[in-house]
Amino acid sequence: METKTKQLKKSLLNWYKNNKRSFSWRNTNNPWNILLIEIISQQTQINRATTYYQKFIEKFPNPESMSKSSLKTILKMWSGLGYNNRAKRLYESSKILSEIGFEKIYPNFELLPGVGQYTKNAILSFAYGDKVLAVDTNLERIITRYFGVDSAKDYVRRYSNLLLEDINSKDLNQAFMDFGSSICTSSNTKCDICPLEKSCKKYFLNSKNSIKKFKGSNRELRGRIIKLLIEENQITINELEKKTREDASKIITAINGLENDGLLKRKNNIIEIISN
C-alpha cells in the first residue's frame, strides 16, 4: 500500500502541473476568499460558483464589509444558487469574523456556522498551508477506484501522512479536485487517457443515491418564496398561494422550514425576511 500510495501522489502531481485549472481564488491565501468560494461552490458547478464568487468578493472584500450589510442583500445576491441557508450561515460567519478574526479562531474553523470538516481543511490547506487533506467527493472517488476499497475515509485515516509527506497540501488537494472533475469523473470516466490507468483497480461502486428532481420540489418552492420576499419585503400566506399557485399545505411546509433555518419570521398571516 505504501508503494502504491507514493505512485498515486507522484502521478497526480505530475498530471496537475500540466493540467491545473486557472481560477482567481487559487492565487490567494486569504482565508476570507477561501471561505467564500468554498461556501458558494457547495452543490454548485465550479464555473458557476466562480461567477458568483467574483460578484461577492468585489462587494464584500472582507468579513467586516459583509457584516455591515443585511441578510436581505446577501440573499438577493445569492439568488440563483439555491440552498439559501448557506447564504445565511455565511452572513453569520462574517459577523463572528468581523469581531474576532480568523487568527483567533484558527485552527477551529468548524466553530463557524455551516463549516464542516471539508471546508475547515480547505481553509487550513489553501490559506495556511497546513498538511491536511480536504476530503471531497473527488478525492473519495479516486481513492475508492484506484485502491479498490469500499471506504476512502478509512484509507485516509490510515495513510494520509504518506500522501502528505514532502509535498504542498494545497497542490495535492487541488490535484485531486481537478483530476476528479476532468478524468476520474462520476460518470463517463476517461480511463483511456488516465495516467493512473495501469495501476488502478478500477473499482466502480454502484451509487444508490437517487437524484431528486428540483422542479416542483420543496427546495424550489423555498427559493421562490425567498425571491418574492426580496422583491416585496413582506407578504401574506394567502398572497403566496396566489403568486406561487401552490397548495397551502406545501407553502406551510416550506415556510416552516425557512423559519426553522432562521431565514424568515412569521407574525399571524404575514411573513418577512429576517433583516439581521
Q: List active site positions.
A: 38
Please write down the HEC assignment for all residues of the chain: CHHHHHHHHHHHHHHHHHHCCCCHHHHCCCHHHHHHHHHHCCCCCHHHHHHHHHHHHHHCCCHHHHHCCCHHHHHHHHCCCCCHHHHHHHHHHHHHHHHHHHHHHCCCHHHCCCCCHHHHHHHHHHHHCCCCCCCCHHHHHHHHHHHCCCCHHHHHHHHHHHHHCCCCHHHHHHHHHHHHHHCCCCCCCCHHHCCCHHHCCCCCCCCCCCCCCCCCCHHHHHHHHHHHHHHHCEEEHHHHHHHHCCCHHHHHHHHHHHHHCCCEEEECCEEEECCC
Q: State phi, psi for 85 to the nearest 5 degrees.
A: -65, -20
Bridge partners (DSSP) of residue 273 are: 264
Q: Give yes or no for a contact between 169 and 131, defined as CB atoms under 8 angstroms apart.
A: yes
Q: How far apart are CA 168 and CA 137, in angstroms?
A: 20
Closest of 61, 52, 111, 60 to residue 83, by C-alpha: 52
